[in-house]
Amino acid sequence: MAYKITYSNFKGGTGKTTNSTMMGYHLAAKGLKTLLIDLDPQANATALYSLTRQSQTGDVMTFNKTLMSAIAEDDVESIITPIKENLFLLPSFADLTSYPLFLEKKFPNDLEKRSTYFSEIVKKFEDEFDYILFDVPPTLSTFTDSAVLASDYIVIVLQTQERSFVGAEAFIKYLQELMETYDTDFDILGILPVLQKNNAIVDQSVLKNATESFGKENMFKTVIKNMERLKRYDMTGIVDPKISERFDVHDKNVHALYSDVTDELIERIEGND
What CATH number does residue 239 fall under?
3.40.50.300
Given a cut of 80, whether residue 10 has pLDDT beyond it is: no
49/45 Cα distance (integer angstroms): 6
Query: Per-residue pLDDT tens for 121-169?
Result: 999 999 999 999 999 988 788 999 999 999 999 999 988 888 888 888 8
**Enclosing H/E stretch for 175:** helix 162-181
Contacts of residue 39, Cβ cutoff 8 Å, sequence gap at least 6: 92, 96, 118, 134, 135, 136, 137, 143, 144, 146, 147
pLDDT value of residue 197: 74
Nearest residue to 258 via CA among 273, 241, 272, 243: 241
Residues in contact with 233: Cβ distance below 8 Å, sequence separation at least 6, in sequence order: 48, 51, 52, 239
Give backbone dihedrals phi and psi of 24, rounded to 5 degrees, phi first.
Answer: -60, -45
- Split into its structural domains, the chain has a count of 1
User: What distances in angstroms separate CA 129 from CA 11, 14, 173, one per listed residue?
Assistant: 29, 27, 30
Rounded (5°) CA angle 172-174-180: 110
pTM: 0.95
Give the domain extent around 235: 3-272
Confidence bin at 199 (pLDDT 50/70/90): confident
CA distances (Å), origin 134, targets 94, 137, 145: 17, 10, 11
Least confident of 1-5, 128-132, 183-187: 183-187
Q: What is the mean pLDDT of the chain?
A: 92
Where is 131: in which H helix or E strand? strand 131-135
